[in-house]
Amino acid sequence: MAEQDSAVAGWNFQSAVPEAAVPTGLRPEVPHLARIYDYWLGGKNNYPADQAVAEAMIRTVPDP
């Protein structure tokens, strides 16, 4: 049954990346450009640190 759970319609969903190589530390207190961009686009995948930097950048570089 376990073999059937990991293979759906002939696809094997095992990771190509060794488990030890996958980063496990999420640091929401450190702004990240991808999450800042997400905030600008109105997304939900950002944190207060990202939002603060995004707003500071908007104040620093106003629209032309």
Over the chain, what is the mean pLDDT? 84
- Determine the pLDDT at residue 29: 96
32-63 burial by CB neighbour count: b if 16+ within 10 A, else e? Answer: beebbebbeeeeeebbebbeebbeeeeeeeee
User: Stretch 15-35: mean pLDDT, rounded?
Assistant: 83
Alpha helices in 23-64, H assignment, sequence order: 33-40, 48-60
| Stated pTM of the model | 0.61
| Per-residue pLDDT band at 8 (split at 50, 70, 90) | low
- Determine the pLDDT at residue 7: 55
Q: Given a cut of 80, is residue 60 above it in pLDDT?
A: yes
Give the number of residues written for the chain.
64
Please measure the distance between the N-terminal and C-terminal CA atoms of the chain and give it in whole angstroms. Answer: 61
- Determine the pLDDT at residue 53: 98
